Amino acid sequence: MDDRTPPLLVHNGEGFLLERFPLGTRVVYPPEALPPVRDVEEAIQNALLNPLESEPLPELLRPGMRLTIAFDDISLPLPPMKKPDIRQRIIEAVLTMAADAGVDDVELISANALHRRLTPNELREIVGERVFRSFFPDGKLYNFDAEDTENLTHLGQTKHGEDVEISKRAAESDLLVYVNVNLVAMDGGHKSTSIGLASYKSLKHHHNSHTMIHSRSFMDHKASKMHHSAWRMGAVLTEHVKVFQIETTLNNDIFGGPLEFLQKREWEWSIKDQAAMLAAKRGLDLAPAKMRHRIFTDVRSNYGLTGIHAGKIEPVHEKTIENVHRQHLVEVQGQSDVAIMGVPFVGPYNVNSVMNPILAACMGLGYYFNSYRGNPVVRKDGAVILYHPVDYEFSQLHHPSYVDFFEEVLSESTDPATIEAKFEKQYAEDPWYIHLYRTSYAYHGVHPFYMWYWISHALDHCGDIVWVGANRKAVERMGFRSASTLQDALEMVSHSVGRSPSITYLHNPPHLLADVR
Amino acid sequence: MLALEMYRSPAKYLAAKAVGGRIPGILTGPAAPLRLVTINEPKADRDGWARIRPILSGICGSDLGMVTGSTKLYFSAMVSMPFVPGHEVVGELLDDCEDLPKGTRVVMDSVLTCAARGVEPCVGCSSGNTNRCDRITVGHVAPGLQTGFCHDTGGGWGNVMVAHRSQLYAVPDGLSDERAVLTEPLACAVHTALKAKVEPGQSVLVSGAGAVGLFATLALRELTQAGRITVVAKHARQRELARAFGASDVVAPDEVFRGVRRATGAFRLTPEMGREFLLGGVDVAVDAVGSKDSIDTVLRVTKAGGRVVLSGMPSTGADLSPVWFRELELTGTYASALAEPNDKPAFETALEIAAKAPLDGIVGARYPLYRWREALDHAQSAGRLGTVKVAFDVRAS
C-alpha cells in the first residue's frame, strides 16, 4: 500500500467492503488464472488411456467384475462449478469404457465421509442427468454412509495402530476408480479414498486436536501429520483394493459475469468494473438477507481444467500438486506481525447452506491461515484480523450438532484438546445426530469438533485474533475479540505487535498458497 | 403481639388475581390481603402445646402465591381466616414442651397432623406419612393444612405462635439461625428427593432454581446416586448455586430441550403446531416451579416410563398428552413425612444437611415485620436479585 493505492476489496461474508489499509501493508494477490486445457474430452481420454504407473483403464476392466466409482462430494470445488461438472465428464468417460468392456456391476458413491448426504439434485449436478437417471433410481448412485456398520469393512491397522475402515462396496470391488477435484493442495492423494470413504473409527486417528495442531500446513502433504496418517492408511487400503485414481486441477477463474471485478486488482479496475462493483455493493447492501443469500448460493464458477492425471495414487498426486502449485503458489518474503483476511460467503461445509460462526472461524483460521508452505504468513504470537459478520445463524437441517457445540461445548472451553477429551465421544455417538446424518442432510455429530480442531494450529500460533464488524457475542463465545473497524482492531492488538506492525493482507479468494520464505 | 395477618377480602383477592401478573407491585401495596396488626397471642392451653417466639421466619413460594392470589381456591377449605402466615420457622420455646425445656431453639414441621389436633390417627398419620393427614380440618385446632394457614396457631410472621410437640425438632447448638430456618424447605426437598426414587446412575432434570429447585438438587445429590442432574436456571446466581449444590449441567429455560436432548442422546421432534418434545430424555424430572410452561416442559423431556415429580405448587392447563403417550408416572410431593424411605423423619435428615451443605448466604435478606412490603417485593424478585431466601427477622420487629 502506498499513497496512490485505492481502497482494497475485502470479502465479508455475503458481501464485501472496501478497506483502506495502513501505508506499507503488503498485499498478497492470488496468481492470475492459468490457461485451461483446450480440449477437456481429449485430456480425459488421454489420462485414462495413458495412466501413470498403471495399465490403461480399459485393460483393468473385464466382464463380471465389480467396479465402484467414488467421487468428491459437494464440498469441492468452491464455489460450485458451472455445468458440466468435471466429475460428470470423467465419470461418463469411465462408464463408457466400462460398458465397452462389458462391466455391468457398477456403483457410484459420493465420498462424503462424515459430511452431510447430498440431495438427489446435488448428486445430479455433479454426475449429470444421464448418469443420474441411469444409476440413482436403482440405488446404484448413493451417498457413503459412515454409520452403516453392516456396509463397512475393516481392512486392518497401520503400523501406528490406526484403523482402516472403509465402505464395504469399495473394499470388495475389483477396481475402485476415484474421481477427484483438486481445488487446493490439501485435496487428493490418499486423502481421497482413505478419508472420503472412511468411518469415524478411522477418521478419529487423524482428525484430532493433536494431529491437527502438528499439521503444518494442511496444504503441504509432506509436512502435514494428518496427511501422513492418511498416507499410512492409504498403504493399507491399496494392499487390499486396486485403486485407479483420477485427479483434476482447476484454475483460478472463479468469478465471472457481473462479479468479474473480484478477480482483478483494484488499481486495474476499468470504469465498467468500478460501476459493476458499486452496483453490486449497493445492491447487496440494500438486498434483504434472504435475497443476498440466494444471490451468493447461486454463484457458479467457470473454472478451467489445468490438468488431469490418472493411475497409481502417489505419482498421480505428485503431478496434481505440481499443477496446484503452478496455479496457487505466491512467493512471500518473510512473516509479518499481522495477517488480515476476509472470509467469504462459502466454505466447504456450507454449500447451499449458511456459514455459521464455527464454519466462519474454520474458513478463516483453518483454511486461509493454513494456506502456506514453509511458515505461516504471520509470525509466532502475531495477530490475525478477520472480516466476517459472524452472525448467530445456524442451519438446523445441515448443522444440528453445531448449535449444541456452540452453546454447550464452547461455553465450557475453547481449548481443542480439552473439548476433545470431554465432549467428542458423546457427540460422535449421539443417536439423534447419527439418525439425522443417515436419514436427513445433517453433518455428523462430531463434525463441529473437526472444524474446531482445524483452527487449533492458528490458536496455538497466534497471539491475538480479532474479527472486524462481527457479532460480538458470537465471537466472544469462541474466545475471540471483535472490533468495529480495522483501526480499532489494530489498536486492540498493538499491545502484542506494537503500533507500527508489519501487515500482510491476503487478498483471497481466488485461492492462493503463500510460499513464505 | 405484633403480627402480619392474612384476612378475608374477596375484592382484594380478585384484584390480585386479575392484575397481579402484570403489576406485581400492586400485590404488596394496596391489593394485598395482608396487614400488620396487634392481636392477642395464640393460646397453648392443651397438653403437648407450647408457645414459640420466632427468630427468623422464611417467605415461601406458597406464601407469595397466597398474597398474589395465584393460590387455587382448592385450598380455601383448608385454611381458617384470619391467620398469621409463616411456616419456615426457627424460634425459641417460651414454655416447657414435654421433653423440650423452655428456651430450646426449635424448628417446626408445619403440618398439623392428627397428633396435633388430638384426634385418632388417620391412615396417613399412623403409617408415618404425616403429610398425607386426612384430619387437617377437624379436632381442637381450627382448619388449616399447616401452621401458617391456621387461625388458632399463629404463624412465623408474628411475635408469638404455638406448636405441638409432634411438630418440633430441637436445633443443634452449632447450627446458626440462618441455616436452621432453611430446615423446613430442606425437609420438603428431602421428601422430594426420596419420593423421586432415583436409581443409581439415572438422569434427573430439576426445572427451576429457586429455593425449592436448589434444595431439591442438593437433596438429590446428598441422598441418591443420581447420575447426571440437569438444572434449569434463569439467573446467574442461580446457575452458580445449582452447580455448587450438585448439578452436572445448568441450562437456561429456553435451552431445556436442547440441553436434555444432548445430555441423554434423545430424539427431538417438533409437531406441526405446539411445542417440541423428546423421544427419550431424563429418567426422572422434578418440577420445582409449578407453572404451566415448566410442567409442560418436564412432561415433554421425560423418557417413556419415567417419573415426573411435581414439587412446586402446580398450575393448570399443562398438556398431559405425554403422560398418556409415554406412560409417565406422575406424582406430587407435599411437605415432608415422619417416615421417609431412609427410615428417619425428613426433618432429621434436613438438619444433617443444613449442618454441612454450602448454605452460607442462602438467606440473602432479613426484614423486620414492619417492612413487610419491601420483604415481599424482594421475595417476588428473589431470583433476579440473586437471593434464594428472604426471611423476616421477627426479633427485630
| Residue range A25-48, pLDDT digits in tens | 999 999 999 999 999 999 999 999
Q: Based on DSSP, count helices (H) and strands (E) in chain B, helices before strands.
A: 14, 17
Give the strand pairing for A105-110 and A141-143: parallel
Nearest to A181 by CA among A116, A86, A82, A117: A86
At B228 the pLDDT is 95
Residue B318 carries which side chain, given as an amino acid letter? A
**Tens-digit pLDDT profile for residues A421-448:** 999 999 999 999 999 999 999 999 999 9
- Give the minimum alpha-carbon distance from A478 to chain B in angstroms, rounded to a whole number: 19
CB contact under 8 A, B267 and A432: yes
To the nearest whole Å, the CA of B267 is away from the closest chain A CA by 5
Give the pLDDT score at A137: 97
| Mean pLDDT, residues A404-409 taken together | 94
Q: Are A7 and A493 contacting, i.e. CB atoms less than 8 angstroms apart? A: no
| Minimal C-alpha gap between B269 and chain A (Å) | 10
CB-count burial class (<10 Å; 0-12, 13-18, 19+) for A139: exposed
- What cell numbers appear for A406 in the block? 456452540
| Strand bridging mode B302-310 / B282-287 | parallel
Structural contact between residues A132 and A203, judged by C-beta atoms closer than 8 angstroms: no
**Which tens digit of pLDDT belongs to each residue from A242-266?**
999 999 999 999 988 888 898 889 9
Residue percentage of chain A with pLDDT more than 90: 89
Range A331-352 burial, b when 16+ CB lie within 10 A, else e: ebeebbbbbbbbbbbbbbbbbb
Burial-class residue A35 by CB neighbours within 10 Å (0-12, 13-18, 19+). Answer: exposed
DSSP line for B18-50: HHTTT-GGGGTTTT-SEEEEE-PPPP--STTEE
Q: What is the mean pLDDT of residues A465-492?
A: 97
For residues A447-457, give the mean pLDDT: 96
Choose the mutation target among B254, B260, B262 for the interface with A, i.e. most A CBs under 10 Å.
B262
CB atoms B262 and A404 under 8 Å: yes
Interface touch A435/B265, C-beta < 8 Å: no
Could you give the CA distance from residue A302 to residue B275 in angstroms, rounded to a whole number?
A: 46
Q: Mean pLDDT across the stretch B236-247?
A: 96
Selecting from B258, B266, B267 the residue whose C-beta is nearest the C-beta of A404 gives B258
> By the 8 A CB rule, do B382 and B60 touch?
no
d(CA B235, nearest CA chain A) in Å = 16
Parallel, antiparallel or unpaired: strands A329-332 and A378-387: unpaired
Q: Which class for A260: exposed (0-12), middle (13-18), buried (19 or more C-beta within 10 A)?
A: middle
**Given an 8 Å threshold on Cβ–Cβ distance, is B265 in contact with A429?**
yes
So what's the ipTM on this one? Answer: 0.77
Say if the Cβ atoms of A432 and B265 lie within 8 Å. Answer: yes
Q: Amino acid identity of B302? A: T
CA distance A212 to A224: 8
The yes-or-no verdict on residue B162 having pLDDT over 80 is yes
Q: Is B255 on the interface with A (CB under 8 A)?
A: yes
Does any CB of chain A come closer than 8 Å to the CB of residue B268?
yes
Q: Which three cell numbers stand for residue B292?
A: 404451566
Q: Which residue of B has its CA nearest to A445?
A: B262
Residue B272 pLDDT > 80: yes
Task: State the pLDDT at residue B23.
Answer: 59
Rounded mean pLDDT of chain B? 92
- B262 and A430 in contact by Cβ < 8 A? yes
Amino acid at position A102, single letter: G
Reply yes or no on whether the pLDDT at A178 is more than 80. yes
Rg (CA), chain B: 20
Nearest to A432 among B255, B259, B268 (CB): B268
Measured between beta carbons, the chain B residues lying within 8 angstroms of A429 are 265
Chain A residue numbers touching B265 (CB-CB < 8 A)? 426, 429-432
For residue B254, the model assigns a pLDDT of 92
Cβ of A408 and B265 within 8 Å? no
Q: What is the pLDDT of residue B19?
A: 62
The minimum CA-CA distance between A270 and chain B, rounded to whole Å, is 52
Question: What residues are paired with A464 via a beta bridge?
Answer: A383
Using a CB–CB cut-off of 8 Å, the residues of A that contact B are: 403-404, 407-408, 426, 429-432, 435
Residue A472: pLDDT over 70: yes
Cell of B38: 396487634
Dig out the grid coordinates for A328 from the structure.
496457487
Distance from the Cα of A447 to chain B's closest Cα (Å) equals 15
Closest-CA distance, B303 to chain A, in angstroms, reads 14
Q: Would residue A89 be called left, alpha or beta, if left means φ above 0 and alpha means ψ between -120 and 50 degrees?
A: alpha
- Least confident segment among B47-56, B69-78, B111-120, B222-231: B69-78
Q: Across all residues in chain A, what is the average pLDDT?
A: 95
Residues of A in contact with B261 (CB under 8 A): 404, 432
Which residues in chain B are closer than 8 Å to A408, comparing Cβ atoms?
Answer: 258-259, 262
Residue partners of B79: CB distance under 8 A and separation at least 6: B143, B144, B145, B149, B150
Query: Who among A407, A426, A435 is closest to B267 (CB)?
Result: A435
Do A430 and B255 count as a contact with CB atoms less than 8 A apart? Answer: no
Q: What is the 3-state secondary structure (H, E, C) of A84-136?
A: CCHHHHHHHHHHHHHHHCCCCEEEEEECCCCCCCCCHHHHHHHHHHHHHHHHC
Q: Flag whether pLDDT at B182 surpasses 90.
A: yes
B233 in A contact zone (CB under 8 Å): no
The C-alpha cell at B335 is: 411437605
Polymer length in residues for chain B: 397
Q: What is the mean pLDDT of residues A356-372?
A: 96
For residue B259, the chain A residues in CB contact (below 8 A) are 408
Chain A residue closest in CA terms to B252? A407
User: Under a CB-based contact definition with an 8 Å cutoff, are residues B184 and B136 in contact?
Assistant: no
Q: How close B292 gets to chain A, by Cα (Å)?
A: 26
Rounded CA-CA distance A253/A37 in Å is: 13
Query: Given a cut of 90, is residue B68 above it in pLDDT?
Result: no
Residue type for B28, please?
A: T
What angle is formed at CA B269 by the lines to CA B267 and CA B272, rounded to 5 degrees? 170
> B210 and chain A: CB distance < 8 Å anywhere?
no
pLDDT value of position A88: 98
Residue B26 is predicted with a pLDDT of: 57
